[in-house]
Amino acid sequence: MSERLVIDPVTRIEGHLRIEAQLKNGIIEEAYSAGTMVRGLELILRGRDPRDAWAFAQRICGVCTVVHAVASVRAVEDALKITIPKNAELIRNLMVGAQYIHDHVMHFYHLHALDWVDVVSALKADPKAASALAQSISRHAQSSPGYFADVQKRLKGFVETGKLGIFQNGYWGHPAYKLPPEANLMAVAHYLEGLAWQRDVVALHAILGGKNPHPNFVVGGAPIAISIYPDHPGRGKGPHYRGGQGGTALDVTGLARIQAVIDAMRAFVDNVYVPDTLAIAGFYKDWFKQGEGLGNFLCYGDLPSRGIDDPTGFLFPRGAILNRDLSTLHDVDLDADDQIHEYVAHSWYDYAGGKNKGLHPYRGETTLNYSGPKPPFEHLPVEQAYSWLKTPRWKGQAMEVGPLARVLMLYAKGHAQTKELVGMALKKLDLPVSALFSTLGRTAARTLETKILADAMQGWYDALVANIKAGDVSTFNDAKWEPSTWPKHAQGVGFMEAPRGGLAHWIVIDDAKITNYQAVVPSTWNAGPRDPAGQAGAYEAALQGHVLHDPAQPLEVLRTIHSFDPCIACAVHLTDEHDSTYEARIL
Amino acid sequence: MNGLELLTWARGPGLALALGICVFGVILRSVEILALGRKPDLAPARAVTPGSGWRTIFSRSLPPPGMLRRAPLTYLGGYVFHLGFAVTLFFFVPHIELIRGVLGLSWPGLPNSLIDAATIAAILAMIALLIGRLVDPVKRLLSGGGDWLAWALTFAPLATGYAAYHHWFENYALTLALHILSIELLLALLPFTKLFHVVSLFMARWYNGDIAGRKGVAT
Amino acid sequence: MQHPDNHALNVVLAEAGLSRRDFLGFCATLAAAYALPASSVGAIAAALEKAPRASVIWLSFQECTGCTESLTRSHAPSVEGLILEQISLDYHHTLQAASGAAAERARDAAMRANAGKYLLVVDGSIPLGNAGYSTIAGLSNLDMLKEAAQGAAAVIAVGTCAAYGGLPAADPNPTGAVAVSAIVKDKPVINVPGCPPIPVVITGVLAHFLTFGTLPELDDLGRPKIFYGESIHDRCYRRPFYDQGKFADTFDDEGARKGWCLFKLGCKGPVTYNACATTKWNNGVSFPIQSGHGCLGCSEPGFWDMGPFYQALSMPATPVQKTVAGAAAAGAAVGVAVAFANRGKKAAAKAAHQAVKVEDLEKKS
């Protein structure tokens, strides 16, 4: 029997994503991913001062709140040939790293976990057994029977009020939930701990960027000046005497606090996040065999050590992998006119040259043309345009971006720590390397790269301290700050590896004003609709073949979609709904 | 339109409009005056006093002997107002930033306490001059609508600026917008009122000084 | 699971064994926010303990999820304390377990069970240009807002997009985005602007409603005066430098490192009303100015179109040079034309001039 599955809104994501799928006997034949919200940011950016662009672009997304700002300032710096001081590079790396760690942990516990963790089942757990389980996998301090009993009591009190709030209508008791009650209780405890942890560790962004979400950046470096004077003689009106007033948040206290945040990040990742991922994954090994998706992976590379123009100094390398072949890595050029193209064949946009053309982002166009059904509607016409996302392609190929792409790239390049971590995880789970090409492979890759980054944070911090000690307090390059120093025409690309994958902004500047701005974001790569040739995007491909126990409770779809960590404002809401078999808005 | 939107309008289109009218008017009137021309003075110069015109531009700023005592309010009030106004206009940092934004020129500013004192002095001087004008029957008789208008146009930016800086009203953005709008009104009307003296004064003094020099008259 | 009667908070607390210290800490935050004496903490706690968990429905329209992220950064009350013990967050895309039809059913159920009593929170603007610009479950944002606002006790517009249109409404407003208050006219709307709002300001406004059951006092832009009553500039720790005329000229000069005023680098603190300089961000760690960047003015309507961010507030918001040059040329041209006309008049007067001789005068007399 054939039926239509609609999931809208897809929740526990960023933004507005809708998934439609064609089911046959409970198996997904074809899936369609649709972004259902547009703001026209690229149109708003035109005519503005390029130095202001980061603030607009940053508001593409409040979850990955750092990444669009960084891509934007890099685009302007690339266009105007601005290099940034060493300290600014380290400060940006610390902010990007902190964003990854914060974001990945929140994604795992607060967005993704409820796909694997049955909250209601935790009520049946034996706190002593939960404690024994926790202590067997980690040396995390909060693991006593009393602690778990308290968490369980709190949860019980909550459930007994009869108001389940955010847990209302969850898929509790679904047979796809496999964790024993004790593991569920441990995960719930860490869900709550994670909320507390995350709001403390954003202090790093608050110090270096003034606030979180949406910390501040600046073209040419970092906006925060360093209020530390290593060569001060110690008393009196020395060369940098500042009379005890003012200063910035990056003083000795601020620096010490950053170290404390890094310690807290590493402790949580090592003692909670990594052990939990492996423990939970152990109960869901069949999810290492589905949700493979495209098998093509793309990385732009990021986290420079010798400037953004030198990819050899990147922690995350650049390159492409095709057809799961880790032995051949392909070069990627973001400026080349024949590599990255965006298509609108199935998107609610028009191109002057026709719907089937592909355009490199420098020549990109943003002309809104909603041709979908008038709301309220039941289905989207998937054979025509059905999404506010465009369809990016690399040399005509649909590509997956994100943690899995990066970990595979690091693995293929022989990065020692990655090889060790992947080896450890696969050994613990008793799985082959090919298990990485899967729903849980994606989730595990996210955890492993978090570990790599948490360790790298300390290195960047130490380098920053050493630089300051050596008397280098430069954080900003003002040589090309004034528009009078700019060429009449300039264009550039700012790229980065965002937590969700390769991200790039292309900017064209004429007479000191933005004349074109195009952002191709990770979730556009992953969640984009079909291209003119009918090739599916990463979400659409990954969902193919999923077997649904109950289409009214599409937990399986959510698992795979969430494994990509959708961020749709960047790129779009999934609707599970009705057809003849089940009615969506019934009460 | 709320205070901030009014402020943005005043800083953007409003400013462009006011500056446009001002520059248009100043150039129009200057060209008009200069193009009137003078008949060439065919008589031989009685004395050769180079720089007489330039000197006069400054020397006329000093009171003629005895006048300071006869009209102290006019002179002292005038000095205090003009200096106070100039200090506030040219040495308050936000004003310097405005000039930098328009002309690209910049110089160091003064602390706000000094600017504050200069503004108060200018405001008090203007009030004293106004009272002097109202009380003195001769001055009152000589004053026409243009004079009262010029006073009001000049006083408004000082008063609104002072009120904005000291947050006299809850809506700061609105006060600031009114301050900028009052300046824009001043700019727009400057070429077409007696306030045009900020430009014509230099031409007139130079001409008078130069012609007097040729005739051998000390200026 | 839907009990008709709401358990009072004190019962939940007792049953859940929640740290009473956490709870009193939240009450103390509230007391401080309202400048109430410390002795009132007990009274607030008593009021909250009697309060049942109010239903909150949170709708996300044209937004970036920054406001929700900000909510999760609140320290007192914490987000977990808020959603477990103080409110019943019945619909919230980013946090709720259920997706799709199950999520929509949860919203419908909450709206029916709590008709007239639930609090509606909205983040994001609403596009009026085309209903298809933003849809959820096939419904346009406009329809969903109208439907949800009908039974709400009050609407809280969180973030500058919901409060004033925000980023989507920035020039040229490609999707015709508008604020919540442009649509909801028959219910009280509280604006909590900011991009995003300060975490404790979001929870503080929720807490006010939960504690007192009334709306806080609002300013003329619909913002609670307790958080938006003073400008950043007036409460800024760098204000003394502004008064002394000491300014940072660039981002890492001596002035920048000494924490001098950022006015010249475009700080919009003087015209921005928010609590950043007093409560600061992320548990009082810092705020934009303390971290070296001028205030963008993000809690003010239309801040995206206030002119370039890095231009001092006193600088032109849009370039004036072209207008001035045009005016100068026009002035010169008209001046020359008038000069010619004047010359013509002069010549005509000369031509019309009749020479009068002494004899003529004598003749007449």
Which of A190, A446, A449, A567 is flagged as catalytic? A567
Chains touching B, CB cut-off 8 Å, 3+ pairs: C
Chain A residues with CB-CB distance to C291 below 8 A: 206-211, 215-216, 223-224, 248-250
Size of interface A-C (CB pairs under 8 A): 415
Q: Could you report the per-residue pLDDT of B66-93, keeping only the tens digit for each?
A: 888 988 999 999 999 999 999 999 999 9
- The pLDDT score that the predictor gives to residue C352 is 86
Together in a domain, C65 and C191: yes
Q: What residues contact C362, with CB distance under 8 A and at least 6 apart?
A: none
Shared domain check, C192 and C72: yes
Determine the average pLDDT of the residues in C116-130. Answer: 96
Task: Report if residue C295 sits inside a domain.
Answer: yes
CA nearest neighbour of B32 among A165, C332, C282: C332
β-strand pairing of C177-178 with C139-140: unpaired
Task: Specify whether the CB–CB gap between A196 and C78 falls below 8 A.
Answer: yes
Neighbours of C361 (CB within 10 A): 9
Phi, psi for residue C158 in degrees, rounded to 5: -90, 130
What is the pLDDT, as a whole number, of residue C31? Answer: 64
**Sole residue written with tokens 């977990």:** C80
* Predicted pLDDT at C48: 57
In a domain, C8, yes or no: no
Residue C285 has pLDDT above 50, yes or no: yes
Range ranked top by mean pLDDT from A148-162, A298-312, C8-22: A298-312
What does the alpha-carbon distance between residue A553 and residue C354 come to, in Å, rounded to a whole number?
Answer: 108
Q: In this structure, is residue C363 part of a structural domain?
A: no
pTM, 2 dp: 0.90
B174 reaches C (C-beta below 8 A):
no
Residue A227 is a catalytic residue: no
B17 contact C CB<8A: yes
Put simply, whether A12 touches C (Cβ < 8 Å) is yes
Q: Given the DSSP bridges, would you call strands C87-91 and C54-60 parallel, antiparallel or unpaired?
A: parallel
Instruction: Provide the β-strand partners of residue C89.
Output: C56
Which member of A16, A20, A33, A61 is catalytic?
Answer: A61
Within this chain, do residues C259 and C196 fall inside the same structural domain, yes or no? no
Ordered by start, the domain boundaries in chain B are 3-33+47-214
Residues C194, C257, single domain; the answer is: no
B141: Cβ–Cβ under 8 A, 6 or more apart, which residues? none
Asked if pLDDT for residue A235 goes beyond 80, the answer is no
Any C CB within 8 A of B82 CB = no
What is the pLDDT of chain A when averaged over all its residues?
93
Among A541, A519, A550, which Cα is nearest to A43's? A519
In a domain, C298, yes or no: yes
Is A500 a residue of the active site?
Answer: yes
**Claim to verify: residue C181 and residue C61 sit in the same structural domain:** yes
The 10s digit of each residue's pLDDT in A329-342 is 999 999 999 999 99
Structural contact between residues A348 and A371, judged by C-beta atoms closer than 8 angstroms? yes
Is residue A375 reached through a cis peptide bond, with omega within 30 degrees of 0 on the bond before it? no
pLDDT of residue A582: 34
Q: B186 falls in which pLDDT band (50, 70, 90)?
A: very high
As a whole-number percent, the residues of chain B with pLDDT over 70 amount to 99
Taking residues C95-99, report their average pLDDT.
Answer: 94
CB B171 within 8 A of CB B5: no
Q: Which residues of B touch C179 (CB under 8 A)?
A: none
Inter-CA distances, B160 with A41, B189, C306, Å = 38, 18, 21
Q: A564 and A31 in contact (C-beta within 8 Å)?
A: no
Amino acid in the structure at residue C68: T
Q: Which of A322, A520, A505 is nearest to A409 (CA)?
A: A322
Query: Do C165 and C122 share a domain, yes or no?
Result: yes
Q: From CA A98, how far away is CA C259, in angstroms rounded? A: 25
Task: Answer for the pair A44, A34: CB distance below 8 angstroms, yes or no.
Answer: no
Q: What is the pLDDT of residue B83?
A: 96
Which of chain A's residues have a Cβ under 8 Å away from the Cβ of C199?
A: 199
**Cα A187 to Cα A191, A507, B158, C97, C266, distances in angstroms:** 6, 44, 66, 14, 47
Number of structural domains (chain C) is 2
Q: What's the pLDDT tens digit per position in A103-158?
A: 999 999 999 999 999 999 999 999 999 999 999 999 999 999 999 999 999 999 99
Contact B28, C331 (CB under 8 A): yes
Query: What confidence tens digit (pLDDT) does each residue in A65-118 have?
Result: 999 999 999 999 999 999 999 999 999 999 999 999 999 999 999 999 999 999
**How far is the C-alpha of C19 from the C-alpha of C15, rounded, in Å?**
11
Q: How far is C180 from chain B (nearest CA, A)?
A: 17
- Measure CA C322 to chain center: 33
Distance from CA of C23 to the nearest CA of B (A): 36
Q: For residue A226, what are the CA distances in angstroms to A85, A90, A177, A245?
A: 13, 13, 50, 14
- Per-residue pLDDT for A576 more than 70? no
Q: Are A199 and C78 inside 8 Å of each other by CB?
A: yes
pLDDT category at C2 given cuts 50, 70, 90 is very low
Q: For C97, which of A41, A114, A195 is closest by C-beta distance?
A: A114
State the helix-helix crossing angle for A416-429 and A403-412, rounded to 10 degrees: 110
Q: Kindly state whether residues C99 and C184 are assigned to the same domain.
A: yes
Check residue A574 and give its pLDDT: 28
Judge if C167 and C252 occupy the same domain.
Answer: no
Tell me the pLDDT tens digit for each residue of B189-213. 999 999 999 999 998 999 888 888 8
Q: Is B21 on the interface with C (CB under 8 A)?
A: yes
- Mean local confidence (pLDDT), A48-62: 96
* Per-residue pLDDT, A330: 97
Tokens representing residue A299 in the block: 């990385």
- If you average pLDDT over residues A315-329, what whole number do you get? 97
Q: Answer whether residue A233 shows pLDDT above 80.
A: no
| A68 has catalytic annotation | yes
pLDDT at A316 over 70: yes
- The answer to which of A284-288, B155-159, B171-175 has the lowest mean pLDDT is B171-175
Residue C28 included in any domain: no
Is A199 a catalytic site residue? Answer: no
Q: What is the pLDDT of residue C342?
A: 86
Residue C55 to residue C32: CA distance in whole angstroms: 26
In terms of CA atoms, which chain C residue is nearest residue B97?
C315
In the residue annotation, A266 being an active-site residue is answered as no
Residue A283: the pLDDT is 97
Cβ contact B2–C221 (<8 Å): yes
**What is the number of other CB atoms lying within 10 angstroms of the CB of residue B142?**
10
What would the two tokens of residue A275 be? 């052990």
**pLDDT score, position C355:** 78
Q: How far is residue C55's CA from residue C109's CA, in Å, rounded to a whole number?
A: 11
pLDDT mean over B98-123: 94
How many angstroms separate the CA atoms of A1 and A23, rounded?
Answer: 8
* pLDDT number for residue B214: 83
Q: What are phi and psi of C91, to 5 degrees?
A: -150, 120
- The answer to ipTM > 0.85 is yes
Confidence of residue B51 (pLDDT cuts 50, 70, 90): confident
The three-state secondary structure class of C70 is helix
Cβ contact (<8 Å) for C306 and B8? yes
Q: Tell which residue, C49, C63, C59, C69, has the closest CA to residue C89.
A: C59
pLDDT band at residue C207 using 50, 70 and 90 as cut-offs: confident
Tokens representing A567 are: 């961020």
Q: Give the closest-approach CA distance of C336 to chain A in angstroms.
A: 33
Does the pLDDT value for residue C41 go beyond 90? Answer: no
Band of residue B121 on the pLDDT scale cut at 50, 70, 90: very high
Which residue in B88, B97, B103 sits closest to B164, CA to CA?
B88
- C175: phi then psi, degrees, rounded to nearest 5: -110, 10
Sorting pLDDT into bands at 50, 70 and 90, what band is C210? confident
Task: Find out whether A77 and A494 touch, Cβ atoms under 8 Å.
Answer: yes
Domain identity same for C166 and C271: no
Q: Please compute, for residue A155, the number of CA atoms within 13 A of its CA located in the half-sphere on the CB side.
A: 25
**DSSP letter assigned to residue A143:** -
CATH of the domain at C270: 4.10.480.10
Query: Which parts of B37-111 fold into alpha helices (H)?
Result: 52-59, 67-70, 72, 78-91, 93-103
Residues of chain C in contact with residue A65, where contact means CB-CB under 8 angstroms, are: 66, 69
Instruction: Based on the residue annotation, tell me whether A299 is a catalytic residue of this protein.
Output: no
Instruction: Tell me which of A267-281, C45-59, C67-81, C236-250 is least confident.
Output: C45-59
From A424-433, C172-181, C224-233, C345-354, the region with the lowest mean pLDDT:
C345-354
- CATH code of the domain made up of B3-33+47-214: 1.20.950
Q: Which of residues 87-146 of B touch C (CB under 8 A)?
A: 93-95, 97-98, 100-102, 109-113
CATH of the domain at C100: 3.40.50.700
- Note the pLDDT of residue C37: 60
C40, amino acid identity: S
Q: What backbone torsions phi and psi does residue A39 show, to the nearest 5 degrees?
A: -120, -20
Task: Assess contact for A297 and A321: CB atoms under 8 A.
Answer: yes
Annotated active-site residue A121? The verdict is no
Which region among A465-479, B156-170, C42-56, C250-264 has the lowest average model confidence (pLDDT)? C42-56
Statement to judge: residues C280 and C196 lie in one domain: no
Over 80: is that where the pLDDT of A575 sits?
no
Give the three-class secondary structure for A369: coil
Query: Which pLDDT does position C25 carry in this prediction?
Result: 62
Closest CA relative to residue A573, chosen from A171, A35, A207: A35
Joined together, the tokens standing for residue C190 give: 């509280």
Query: Residue A161 — pLDDT band, cuts 50, 70, 90?
Result: confident
Same domain assignment for residues C197 and C235: no
CB contact under 8 A, B101 and C314: yes
Which own/partner pairs from C248-255 qualify as long-range (CB within 8 Å, at least 24 positions apart)?
C248/A225, C250/A476, C250/A478, C250/A481, C251/A218, C251/A220, C251/A221, C251/A222, C251/A223, C251/A225, C251/A475, C251/A476, C251/A478, C251/C292, C251/C293, C252/A221, C252/A225, C252/A226, C252/A473, C252/A474, C252/A475, C252/A476, C253/A225, C254/A240
Q: Is A61 a catalytic residue?
A: yes
Range of the domain at C66: 55-201+219-226
- Chain C positions in Cβ-Cβ contact with residue A195 (cut-off 8 Å): 72, 78-80
Q: Are C12 and C85 in contact (CB under 8 A)?
A: yes
Residues C60 and C197 in one domain: yes
Number of Cα atoms under 13 Å in the Cβ half of residue A87: 23
Judge whether C208 and C225 are in contact, CB under 8 Å: no
Q: Is B29 on the interface with C (CB under 8 A)?
A: yes
More confident: A544 or B44: A544
Q: Are strands A340-343 and A358-359 parallel, antiparallel or unpaired?
A: antiparallel
